[in-house]
Amino acid sequence: MQTFFVEIKCALGRTYEVASALAEAEIASEIYSIAGNYDILAKFYLDQGQDIGHFVGEKVQNIPGIVDTRTIITFKAF
């Protein structure tokens, strides 16, 4: 299982709408509101061999209200 996080920047005033869309799509295991350069931090799991780039591009970035993303790939949980 591959674990990764995506920081999501939303259009002004659309953070809750984007978070709701992520939750309704049932693709993220956890969704957090955050402060800083991005508005949402979402945690994802994919099976080994699945392409993270395609997943983010096809399942996450196409959600209306998202203006930018930053993917953080993890290697090991402690």
The CATH number assigned to the domain holding 18 equals 3.30.70.920
Residue numbers of the domain that contains 33: 2-73
> Per the domain annotation, does 7 fall within a domain?
yes
Q: Is the pTM of this model over 0.85?
A: yes
Residue 17 placed within a domain = yes
- How buried is residue 5: exposed, middle or buried, by Cβ count under 10 Å (0-12/13-18/19+)? middle
Q: How many domains does the chain have?
A: 1
- Classified as helix, coil or strand, 72 is strand
Helix (H, G, I), strand (E, B) or coil at 18: helix
pLDDT at 25: 97
- Does 78 reside within a domain? no
CA dist 32 to 11, 35, 48, 64, Å?
Answer: 16, 10, 24, 18
The pLDDT of 6-17, averaged and rounded, is 98
Q: List, for residues 17-68, the tens digit of each pLDDT value.
A: 999 999 999 999 999 999 999 999 999 999 999 999 999 999 999 999 999 9
